[in-house]
Amino acid sequence: MAGSAPARETPRVEGAVAIVVSRFHEDITEGLLVGALEVTREAGLSDPEIAVFRLPGAWELPIAARRAAASGRFGVVIALGCVVRGETPHFDFVAGEAARGLAGVALEYGVPVGFGLLTTDDLEQARARSAPGPANKGREAALAAFETMRTLRGIDGGEPGP
């Protein structure tokens, strides 16, 4: 698929992973969740090490991600949701503030936050980005979060990042 990120090896992860996922556009977000879960399992995590927290919509993702990061229980947080452009500015407010909130969580707590919030013009685009396969954005969000975790460990004096 054009514009897809190059294939990367799944970094090994130590510690638990929190996945915060919106129920709004559930047919889309469930596809993102499947992709993220595939990567967590490829990274060597078992079900007891993966906590999935469901929320009403994308607006609620930052507060749940913040609580997960603040708990100290999770080395990685993955946020999954979908905001489809409509006829009002609602899209801009929700997508922009959710993105800002998730970035703030990562910076405040030093915990990688995988950004799997789709912002699309229509449901067809969202379906394409949540379909099974390597271009699944839930999968990409998990890979990016795990790679960031590994890089941060390298910066802290552990094994070097990719």
Instruction: Please list the active-site residues.
Output: 90
CA–CA gap between residue 121 and residue 98 (Å, rounded): 17
In angstroms, the CA 100 to CA 64 distance is: 14
Sequence-ordered alpha helix ranges (H) in the chain: 26-42, 61-71, 90-109, 123-130, 137-155
**Alpha-carbon Rg for the chain in angstroms:** 15
Distance between CA atoms of residues 51 and 29, nearest Å: 16
